[in-house]
Amino acid sequence: MGFRICLWQRPYVLEGTEVYTDAQEKNVLAEKHGPFVFLFVSPRSSIDFSNPQAVAWYHAKLYKALILGASSIKVDFGEKIEPSMRFMRYDGRQMHNLYPHLYQRAAFEAVEKTKGKGEGVICSRSAYAGSQRYPVHWSGDNSANHENLLCSLRGGLSLGLSGFPFWSQDTGGFVGTPSDELYIRWTQLSIFLSHIRFHGNPPGYREPWNFAPETQAIVRDYLGLRYRLIPYLYTEAQVAAREGLPVLQHLVIYIQDDPTVYNIEDQFMSGRSLLVEPLLTQNVSQRIYLPARSCFDFWNGQRYKGRKWIEREADVRTIPFFVRVGTILPFTFPCQSTDELTLDRETLKIYPDASGRVMYETLTRTKSTG
């Protein structure tokens, strides 16, 4: 049916299980030198990812699930390393920040080995310098309110400036239950990110069918728009991997000689050509800054000159976004899965500059075999 499965796991082995007994016999766990109780329940021990034998043991556990058909691993946690712990190569204090990095590398290698070169995708939260080599990442447990919608975006922009190209968050907020309006606004923002997921702590479910019929219709339309934008987003992901630029870009990356953009944290560039202004409050109007270079309003085609503020009305059905002049924006047809995407049914929307010139770029796109 086009679904791919990502399995959720933690790097802590539950005591009293067969897996724990096996790990102890093979000496692949860190020494605790004190109690380690994960999330207030269940004593556990951490896998020692500084030990090559432990990495090999861990790989063998993941291979079974990946060979059965799982496509990826949700590499959660990794930040619970105590100073009293001892690893093969480090003490607990040295390992505290490094642990999630080694953990993600091990999971990434397992997925890539079973799925093939270029198909090593995991989903991780805790990270360290260099962890961008093992994509993708998300922000962790946010809350279902407008304040967290804003602070999640700010965190993603900062992470992009730190060298992480692929970032997302729990759309709708993890804790609590979003209102229909907030759920729509969060979805509208998320379709422009490199990856998107709806995820929440029960009973705050995030599936669209838990919301009002009108909300379902609006969300369905925006998810359809995301699928139509996949050729563009995939191209920008290729650029991100090749050049290190994030897909979610702070405006200062887009234009560095305009001091006005330095402190703007409620707008962003999706790739190099789409300027997005999400509605982060319950207002239906927004002041938007258009940086240097002209752009077109995606919805009505109106052209604006850069370096100016404008006021834009946007009811709950609309997220303002703009297309840079000189862009050829590829659209595919509406579909239910990336398995349905082909290159023979695309529409090119052209946004010429004053002289009629356009930007054209060709990047090889290969269909995923995962």
Has residue 151 been placed in a domain?
Answer: no
Has residue 279 been placed in a domain?
Answer: no
Closest CA relative to residue 23, chosen from 2, 3, 51: 51
% of the chain beyond a pLDDT of 90: 81
| pLDDT tens track, the chain, 370 positions | 778 899 999 999 999 999 999 999 999 999 999 888 877 678 899 999 999 999 999 999 999 999 999 999 999 999 989 999 999 999 999 999 999 999 999 999 999 999 999 889 999 999 999 999 999 999 989 999 999 999 999 999 999 999 999 999 999 999 999 999 999 999 999 999 999 999 998 877 889 999 999 999 999 999 999 999 999 999 999 999 999 999 999 999 988 889 999 999 999 999 999 999 999 999 899 899 999 889 999 999 999 999 999 999 999 999 999 999 999 999 998 888 888 888 778 899 999 987 777 766 654 444 433 3
Has residue 347 been placed in a domain?
Answer: no
Has residue 47 been placed in a domain?
Answer: yes
Q: Which pLDDT does position 69 carry in this prediction?
A: 92
Determine if the peptide bond prior to 203 is cis (ω within 30°).
yes
Has residue 128 been placed in a domain?
Answer: yes
Output the CA–CA distances (angstroms, integers) from residue 140 to 7, 10, 42, 178, 219, in the order listed: 16, 14, 22, 16, 22
Q: Which pLDDT does position 340 carry in this prediction?
A: 87
Q: Which pLDDT does position 68 carry in this prediction?
A: 93
Has residue 235 been placed in a domain?
Answer: no
Report the CATH number at residue 20: 3.20.20.80
- Please report which residue ranges of the chain form alpha helices under DSSP H: 18-26, 52-68, 92-115, 146-161, 180-190, 213-228, 230-243, 251-254
Q: Collapsing DSSP states into helix, strand and coil, what is residue 5? A: coil
Has residue 329 been placed in a domain?
Answer: no
Has residue 106 been placed in a domain?
Answer: yes
The pLDDT tens digits of the residues spanning 74-116 come to 999 999 899 999 999 999 999 999 999 999 999 999 999 999 9
Closest CA relative to residue 180, chosen from 200, 203, 148, 210: 210
Q: Which residues are catalytic?
A: 76, 79, 141
How many domains does the chain fold into? Answer: 1
Domain coverage including residue 121: 6-135
Q: Which pLDDT does position 366 carry in this prediction?
A: 43
Owner of token pair 């993600």: 104
Q: Which pLDDT does position 367 carry in this prediction?
A: 43
